[in-house]
Structure 1
């Protein structure tokens, strides 16, 4: 499923995050995913209904203004379900910031995306990093930016090739999650949980203490991210 090239259906955004890709990054979680992986930690992002429509130029302006971040991580939901608009978003940001990097999570394998629609191939061609494959609860693992051992961290350009090689060879371990509390006492977290069942356990413990927070989760539901 794809939407118009000038609008994105967005579930959530974060301006600065250090646990979903290299360095300090903005994160955009899109709304809608055609996959239904068992153990999805962001089930609220799966329906194609319910997201907030955001104009691509508006979001591009916001990202380009974040001069202290080195790039954006695209998650969801399934970014490749809105591939045309996301490719346009990256083009618009890079007109002003050519070195702005892009990473994405996808429940589809890289090989399938390369054989996909022109829009999907266009988005793939604009990425520096890709985490591919569905989240497999039976293969959960505490890996760098991934939730299960079947998922791959792929360098698609030379920008992070050395980093990926080093992670693969020496330091493929979880970087944990980030937790924050808003001014309105809302609780949110981002990242790839290093242990299975993290969200359920966290919410149950908060409820037992009398809290009923609106928890917002990870890079993409299917991958425990």
Structure 2
């Protein structure tokens, strides 16, 4: 049985890739970007393991336009993530996008076999570490050094689209807790909104800005 350490999932995110996407945030990252907006997803935690086959079935059932993998660091569990994508595509031919704090050049030159397999499965990749001093309001990215790579022709029509922030998706749960998804277009967003609402730290679901 192949497992993947998963921090969180969401079946219908509209701000982390084209259309409405099922998002999987993996648990664990060894890169350590300063001012990471998802510090709770940095520690590796094998108690959060999910069966890949079961997760793939859920994704195939609920995803609308595609699958986005974020975290955490997806390429830290590249073999399991590649297995997840393959299992999903046995059921549905979904668009797949991933984030990574590594550059694509590093992964191609120095990546493990699992990392190479994952790269081969992707339609879109956002690469590079999040750099707080280069925070920018860009499409699906948090800082100006991060790049959006079109690895297949599936989303070729988006190449010339305006490179503007996709915004944030704000949700209020039945218990009145607030959650947000997406890439903050301004620095210090998490701290600002937690202070503004005078709440305990929000349960937030967003791209980690690797």
**TM bucket, shorter chain:** over 0.9
Aligned residues, how many? 209
Q: In the alignment, which of 23, 27, 30 is matched to residue 27 of structure 1? A: 23
Distance 1:213 1:179, change over 3 A: same
- Displacement of 1:221 after TM fit? 4.4
Match of 1:151 among 146, 150, 154: 146
| Normalised TM-score (structure 1) | 0.89
Equivalent in 201, 217, 223 of residue 205 of structure 2 = 217
Pair 1:104 & 2:104 matched: no
SS of corresponding position for 2:4: strand
Contact map agreement 2:142 2:209 (CA 8 A) in 1: no
Q: Please provide the CA RMSD for this pair.
A: 1.4
1:189 Cα deviation after fit: 0.6
Equivalent pair of 2:141/2:209 in contact (CA under 8 Å): no
User: Aligned pair 1:162/2:157, yes or no?
Assistant: yes
What is aligned with 1:49?
45
For residue 51 of structure 1, report the CA deviation from its aligned partner: 5.7
Instruction: For residue 49 of structure 1, report the CA deviation from its aligned partner.
Output: 2.2
* Helix, strand or coil at the partner of 2:197: helix
Q: 1:76 to 1:9 in 2, by over 3 A?
A: same
One of 181, 190, 195 as aligned partner of 1:190: 181
Give TM-score, length-normalised by structure 2: 0.95
Could you tell me which runs of 5 or more consecutive residues in structure 2 were left unpaired when the two chains were aligned.
none
Consecutive aligned runs of 4 or more in structure 1 exceeding 3 Å deviation: none
Residue 200 of structure 2 corresponds to residue 204 of structure 1: no
